[in-house]
Structure 1
Amino acid sequence: MNIKKLTPLLTLLLFFIVLASPVSAAKYLELEEGGVIMQAFYWDVPGGGIWWDHIRSKIPEWYEAGISAIWLPPPSKGMSGGYSMGYDPYDYFDLGEYYQKGTVETRFGSKEELVRLIQTAHAYGIKVIADVVINHRAGGDLEWNPFVGDYTWTDFSKVASGKYTANYLDFHPNELHCCDEGTFGGFPDICHHKEWDQYWLWKSNESYAAYLRSIGFDGWRFDYVKGYGAWVVRDWLNWWGGWAVGEYWDTNVDALLSWAYESGAKVFDFPLYYKMDEAFDNNNIPALVYALQNGQTVVSRDPFKAVTFVANHDTDIIWNKYPAYAFILTYEGQPVIFYRDFEEWLNKDKLINLIWIHDHLAGGSTTIVYYDNDELIFVRNGDSRRPGLITYINLSPNWVGRWVYVPKFAGACIHEYTGNLGGWVDKRVDSSGWVYLEAPPHDPANGYYGYSVWSYCGVG
C-alpha cells in the first residue's frame, strides 16, 4: 500500500487507527532477549520516496509473524540524493526535509514518513534499528588541503541543516595523525579523535545519535566498523545505550570477538555465514560441525555476541536457504531474516513457523548428536524460558531416518513442529533416551524442505 496515494484525511485516519493499537510489546521475544530481526531493505530498493511507507504497511504482518525489531537503511541524505542507499552520507541531519543533492526526500521518503514508520513499529511493540555510517562522509565540495598538497572533497560547510559542518581538519590525514583503522571507497575518512566530530556524531545532546534517538530509534547497526576504533562504539553506547551490532566483515573469530568485547556491541557472525555456504551449498556439513566444535565461529565461542544471518544487502551467496534458516533459527545466536527472502523468494509460512520455533522452543546450549555430509542433528538443551528442541537437517533428495540418543528427552512424548513430515507426528522417546527420527528430502521445488524440528508435546 502506498500511503502517498491516499487522501490526506484517510492517511490521518489510518495513522491514528494504527497508533490506537493495544499492542505494546513484541509478540514473542523482545529484541534484547534475542528476538528475531528483519532486515527491512535490500540494495537498490525502489526509489521515489516510497520505502518508509511501504515498510510501515508491513508492520502488522511482521508483528504477527513474531518479528521483534526491524533494521532500517541509513536514513540521512547521501551524496547521491534520491538515488542514495545511505552509505555515502552527506548531511547527517537531513532525514528527508531539506532540498539538497537534487531532492528533498531521501530515496526512502521524508522525515515525517520515517517518524510515522517508527511510531507504527512501536505501537506494535517492534523496536527499530538505525544503520549508522560514521566511518566517512561523501559529497563535500573541493577545498585546498595542506596535509595532502592538493584539493580534496572535504568542504561540508554548505550542508542545508547547518549542523555538523566540516572541513579538511576533520578528516585523515590531519595534524593529529595520518590515518586510523581503515578507509572506505575513497571517501573522506572521519577523524573520530576530534572533539568537534565527537560532539556532532554522539557526544552531546545536539549530536546525530541524539537526533536519531529523538525520533525513536532503539538500537544501532554500525557500518564498516573495521574503519575506526571500537572505542567509538563503546563511547556512543555509554552515551545513548541501546541494542547494537557491528559489521566487522572478516572470518577471523578472534578479531571479531576482540572488537565485540571492546565495543560492547554484538557482531555479525561472518565466519558462520561462510561455513553455512560450504555446508549447505556443497554438502559439506562436517566442515560446519568442525568449525562449531573448534571455536571457528562467533556463535560457538560466545553465542550472546553472535548475530547470525543467511543473506543481507551486501552478500547473498547461500542458495540452499531453507536449511540455512532452519539452522540459524533453531541454533544459538540472534538471527536476522533478509527482506527479500521473507517477502519475495522463500516460503513465508515456513519462515514464520521457524520464528515461532526460535522464540518458543530454541533455548539453552547445543549438543550435536549426529552428522555426515548430508545430515545434521543437534539438540538445544533448554533454558528457563524455552524447553529445548531437536533439529534434523537433511540435504539429500531422499527421505531419511535415524536412531539418535537424546537423553534430555528420555521417556518424553515429542512432537514434530514444522509439519514437514506431512502431518501431525508424535513420538515417544524410550526411557534410555533413544528415538527414531525422520527428515524429509531437500527438494523445495516439490514442497520438501529438508528439515524437521522436535520438542516436547503440547508446547504452545
Structure 2
Amino acid sequence: MKILLKRLKLILPICLLLIGCSKERLLDDQSSNERSPNAELIKSAPSKATKASNLKQIGSGVMMQAFYWDVPAGGNWWNTLSGKVQNWSNAGIDAIWLPPVAKAQNGPFSMGYDPFDYFDFGKYNQMGSVETRFGSEDELTSLITSAHNAQLSVIADIVINHNSGGQNEVNPVNGQSNWTKFTPLSGKFNRDYNDFHPNHNHGSDSGIFGGFPDLCHHQVRVQNELWKNSESVAKYYKNVMGFDGWRFDYVKGFEPWVVKDWKNEVGGFAVGEYWDGNAATLDWWTGQAEVSAFDFACYYKMRDAFEGNNLNKLNEDMLWKRNGTKAVTFVANHDTDEIFNGKMLAYAYILTHEGYPTIFYRDYEEWLDKERLNNLIWIHNNLAGGSTSILYTDDNEYVAKRNGHNNAGLVVYINNADSWQERWVETNWSNTVIKDYTGHSGWQPMTQSGNWVKIQVPPKSYTVWAPK
C-alpha cells in the first residue's frame, strides 16, 4: 500500500470533480494448483491466457516484484515485462507480482490503487482512457501467457479495501453525500452506498483510507461479487484471466477472515501487506488469515542493521524466525526504499535465510549488479535449505548457517566493515573441502574433524560457503 502522503495524490481528481460539479517449501496449502471444493468454473467466458501445466511451485524460487511506483505511463508496461519473463525464469524466479491490473479512477495515469472497474483491464473507454497505465487487456493476456510459457506464476495485486471514481449520492444511513455510485462499463459489480460503510447492517471497520469510499465486506452481496459468485472478481481473475495467486493490499483495513475466505474459495498462493514491524503481530495475522505476510519486521531490522551499522540488530525478532513458511521477505518495494548503502548485503541476507524472498524490479533491472543478484538467486535455490543457526554477530560482522534440507546447506558471512575479516566457525561438515560460491574469496579450506574452519569476507561484502 502506498504510504499515505504519496497515495493521497490520487485524491486530487476527486477534489477537482467536486469543484466542477458544485481512490520446507512455501505453503503447500497455497500452491498455485490448489482448488477449493467450493470453487466454480466460469462457463460464460473462456480462459483468455494460456494456462501452463508445468509452472514452478511458488516458493521454490524467488518472486519478482515486476513494477515500481510511477512506471512509465503510455500503456507499454505489459509489453516491457513480456520481454523479460523468460530471462527471469532462467535466473531462478518462480513468480511475478503485477500491479493492480484493472481500470482505476486516474485512468491512464493511475498505478491501480484507486480501483473503479475490477473487470476493465484496458478494454473500455472510461476514466479518461481505454488502456490502463500499463496497457490493453490483450497485452495483459499476452503477458500472462508468456509468463506461463516461461513456467512462472502470476500474482495479482488485489485492492478491495477502498474504491474510487464513483458518482455522488446521498447515503440515507447518515444523510451525507458520498462518491459511492459505481456503474462501470464492464457491467459487473455495480455498487452503491449499501456496499460501503456505513450501511444499515455495518457501521464501519478499520479500513477508512485517504477519504476513499470504504467497501463493507460484511455485506453478503460484496462477498458474492468479490469472491463467492461464479463470475466474482476472484474467480474471473483466476479462471478467465489466468492469475495464479494474490497479493492483498492494505489488509490492516479489514479483518483477516476476508483474505481467508477468498483463499478458501478460489485457492492460489496469497500474501498480505500488513504493514507492521512487530513480528508477533505479523505472526498473529498470518495465523488468522492462514496466508503469508510480507516480513516488515525483517525489513526494519535490516534497515537498522545495514544503514545503522549495527549487525547485532539481525539477532532480533522477525516473522521468518517465527514461521519461515509464512514470511515473504524483501529489501525494497514500490512503497519503501530505505536501505541504500547496504542493499546488496541485505539481499545476501534474505536470499540465504528462511522465507520466500522477493526481488524489486528496479534493483534487479536498473540499480544493482544483476550478475551478483543472479548468483544469490542460484544460491538460494540450490543451497539455502533447512533451519537457520546464527553463529556470530557484532556491529560489523554476521555469520549464520543453514543446516540443509535435501542439500548441503551453507554458511553466510556478511561484513559491513571497511576491511577484510576472518573468523573461525563451526559448520555441518567434517573433513570437507568448502568454497565460497559468490566468488568473493578464492579460499578453499578443509573443515576440521570437529567441523570447524576459518572463512573470510571482503570489506562491505559477503561470502557464502558450502562443500566444493
Give TM-score, length-normalised by structure 2.
0.87
- Which residue of the partner structure matches residue 277 of structure 1? 303
Q: Distance in 2 between matches of 1:420 and 1:184?
A: 47
Q: 1:203 aligns with which of 204, 218, 228?
A: 228
Q: Distance in 1 between matches of 2:174 and 2:462?
A: 58
Deviation at 1:180, TM superposition (A): 1.1
- Which residue of the partner structure matches residue 367 of structure 1? 389
- Which residue of the partner structure matches residue 55 of structure 1? 81
Aligned with 1:317: secondary structure? coil
8 Å CA contact retained: 1:245, 1:268:
yes
Q: Distance in 2 between matches of 1:451 and 1:82?
A: 43
- Which residue of the partner structure matches residue 265 of structure 1? 291
Superposition pairs for residues 156-175 of structure 1, below 5 Å? 156=182, 158-175=183-200
8 Å CA contact retained: 2:156, 2:243:
yes
Q: Distance in 2 between matches of 1:367 and 1:105?
A: 50
Letter in 1 for 2:367: W
Letter in 1 for 2:333: N
| Runs of 5+ unmatched residues, structure 2 | 1-48
2:453 maps to 1:435:
yes
Deviation at 1:177, TM superposition (A): 2.0
Q: Distance in 2 between matches of 1:369 and 1:426?
A: 20
Q: Distance in 2 between matches of 1:330 and 1:287?
A: 17
2:415 maps to 1:394:
yes
- Which residue of the partner structure matches residue 325 of structure 1? 347
Once structures 1 and 2 are overlaid, which stretch shifts more, 322-331 or 185-194?
185-194
Q: Distance in 1 between matches of 2:208 and 2:330?
A: 25
- Which residue of the partner structure matches residue 58 of structure 2? 31
Aligned with 1:409: secondary structure? coil
2:119 maps to 1:93:
yes
1:356 to 1:23, Cα distance in 2 relative to 1, 3 A: farther
RMSD between aligned residues: 1.5
Aligned with 2:313: secondary structure? helix
2:238 maps to 1:216:
no
2:426 maps to 1:405:
yes
Once structures 1 and 2 are overlaid, which stretch shifts more, 188-197 or 325-334?
188-197
Query: Per-residue displacement from partner, 1:8-42 (whole Å, max 9, x unpaired)?
Result: xxxxxxxxxxx99x99444xxx3143x20000000
2:175 maps to 1:155:
no
Superposition pairs for residues 408-423 of structure 1, below 5 Å? 408-421=428-441, 423=442
Q: Distance in 2 between matches of 1:180 and 1:253?
A: 23
Deviation at 1:139, TM superposition (A): 0.6
2:144 maps to 1:118:
yes
Deviation at 1:405, TM superposition (A): 2.0
Aligned with 1:427: secondary structure? coil
8 Å CA contact retained: 2:59, 2:356:
no
Letter in 2 for 1:189: D
8 Å CA contact retained: 1:24, 1:124:
no
The percent identity for this pair of structures is: 53
Q: Distance in 1 between matches of 2:284 and 2:426?
A: 36
8 Å CA contact retained: 1:68, 1:127:
yes
Aligned with 1:68: secondary structure? strand
2:327 maps to 1:306:
yes
Superposition pairs for residues 225-240 of structure 1, below 5 Å? 225-240=251-266
- Which residue of the partner structure matches residue 451 of structure 1? 462
Q: Distance in 2 between matches of 1:403 and 1:206?
A: 60
Give TM-score, length-normalised by structure 1.
0.89
Aligned residues: 417
Q: 1:379 aligns with which of 401, 414, 426?
A: 401
Letter in 2 for 1:354: L
| Runs of 5+ unmatched residues, structure 1 | 1-18, 443-449
8 Å CA contact retained: 1:246, 1:268:
yes
- Which residue of the partner structure matches residue 377 of structure 2? 355
8 Å CA contact retained: 1:23, 1:124:
no
Query: Per-residue displacement from partner, 1:47-74 (whole Å, max 9, x unpaired)?
Result: 1100000001011211111110000000
- Which residue of the partner structure matches residue 277 of structure 2? 251
8 Å CA contact retained: 2:202, 2:218:
no
Query: Per-residue displacement from partner, 1:72-115 (whole Å, max 9, x unpaired)?
Result: 00001000000010000000111111000010000000111001
Aligned with 2:438: secondary structure? coil
Q: Distance in 2 between matches of 1:363 and 1:307?
A: 16
Aligned with 2:131: secondary structure? coil
Aligned with 2:84: secondary structure? helix
Letter in 2 for 1:31: I
1:260 to 1:23, Cα distance in 2 relative to 1, 3 A: closer
- Which residue of the partner structure matches residue 212 of structure 2? 187
Deviation at 1:268, TM superposition (A): 0.5
8 Å CA contact retained: 2:403, 2:409:
yes
Q: Distance in 2 between matches of 1:285 and 1:453?
A: 17
Deviation at 1:120, TM superposition (A): 0.6
- Which residue of the partner structure matches residue 446 of structure 1? none
8 Å CA contact retained: 2:246, 2:268:
yes
Once structures 1 and 2 are overlaid, which stretch shifts more, 147-156 or 105-114?
147-156
Q: Distance in 1 between matches of 2:279 and 2:198?
A: 30
Larger relative contact order, structure 1 or 2 (CA cutoff 8 Å, min sep 6): 2
